[in-house]
Amino acid sequence: MSRHRYLLRVVMIFAVLLSVQTRADAHQHTWNAGFQKLEIPNGNEPALDLGVWYPTNAPVVSGGTEPFEQGIAASGAPVNGRNLPLIVISHGGGGTFVSHYDTAVALARAGFVVAAVSHRGDSGADQSQVLKLWRRPAQLQRVITYMLQSWSEHERLDPQKIGAFGFSNGGFTVLVAAGGVPDLGKTDAYCRANPTHDLCQALKSGGVSSATVFNDVPPHAWIADPRIKAIVVAAPAFGFAFDKAGLANVRIPVQLWGAANDQHQPKPWFEDVVRNALPTSPEYHLVSGAGHYDFLPPCSSHLAAIVPSICVDPTGFDRAAFHKLFDSEIVRFFRAALNAAQDKRS
């Protein structure tokens, strides 16, 4: 080979490699995270509190306020990007829109817009309707509708790229939103097998059965939201209420997480049931050594003093290290699943 041809080939190879690297760098671009706290309409009920995280080029100004060290840009930071995917978050029982702030920040830095709701009737401020589980998917639908139609930056969103994340009661919520139809009448059978579970103890102390509590489920309560194209489910509550028939219509990609040391939701009644009942096998992660609340962010000293029950980890488990993996896997899954869903429509 002549020296001229050799040098030409080297230049061509370098150009190809540079092009590939440039595309990879664009794909892996990291933004800063902006944040808004909003109130949105909730039918005839009081407004829903909503936290919105989004990608921005504005600099991070502080670590945030205890107990939530968010690392976000200053208030009013501009939203950057177009055709941005949207992820909605449904927290666990008694949580709030900040319950999964670290996952929201990780998604925003990866170019997603994230909208997390505080569920009316099942939040830290209001537990008055905690067992009326059918209220939650309806509230999540209102969040999506608001973000697509009324959010000040709604034109930046891609309505074909919507995902949902849920933990515990939120995991139940996003399964329903994806097409799941539970049978809450199975709660009595679960409680006969697990009488010390906190749900079962609450029913017993109230002198009621699940049939009594769940007899006012409104008609057509379990309505899917077809706008959701992929879901991430962590330690889903009421997993035992689903079966193959109940999950037959969940046809979108699912990433499912379970904690190997979950004392709050004992095996095999929760994510194991969901995993086996889904019509297509989910991407499944069983986290060795983790407890139920390890899907929540690491606790600050302030939060640990307020709510110690959600902050104590099983011996030897490193929640901070786990969340780096957890958040990166969620980003990877949503990016791949939502891009694949778009490719099918192209």
- The predicted pLDDT at position 81 comes to 97
- The predicted pLDDT at position 63 comes to 60
Q: How confident is the prediction along the chain (346 residues), in pLDDT tens digits per residue?
A: 444 443 334 333 333 333 333 333 334 568 999 999 999 999 999 999 999 999 999 999 866 544 455 688 988 999 999 999 999 999 999 999 999 999 999 999 999 999 999 999 998 888 888 889 999 999 999 999 999 999 999 999 999 999 999 999 999 999 999 999 999 999 999 999 999 998 999 888 878 787 778 877 888 889 899 999 999 999 999 999 999 999 999 999 999 999 999 999 999 999 999 999 999 999 999 999 999 999 999 988 888 888 899 999 999 999 999 999 999 999 999 999 999 877 776 5
Do the strands 45-56 and 32-42 form a parallel or antiparallel pair, or are they unpaired?
A: antiparallel
- The predicted pLDDT at position 12 comes to 37
Q: Which residues does 311 contact at the CB level (< 8 Å), separation at least 6?
A: 293, 299, 303, 304
Number of Cβ within 10 Å of residue 204's Cβ equals 13
pTM exceeds 0.75: yes
- What is the rounded end-to-end Cα distance, in angstroms, of the chain? 44
Q: What CATH number labels 29-182+222-345?
A: 3.40.50.1820
- The predicted pLDDT at position 203 comes to 87
- The predicted pLDDT at position 124 comes to 85
Are the beta carbons of 75 and 65 closer than 8 angstroms? Answer: no
Please report, for the chain, the start and end positions of each structural domain, with discontinuous segments joined by +. 29-182+222-345, 186-220
Report whether the peptide linkage leading into residue 67 is cis, meaning its omega lies within 30 degrees of zero.
Answer: yes
Are the beta carbons of 58 and 87 closer than 8 angstroms? Answer: no
Give the residue from 268, 324, 320, 322 showing the smallest Cα distance to 299.
Answer: 320
Can you tell me whether residue 191 is helix, strand or coil? Answer: helix
Tokens linked to 22: 């440039």
Give the residue from 131, 255, 257, 244 showing the smallest Cα distance to 182.
Answer: 244
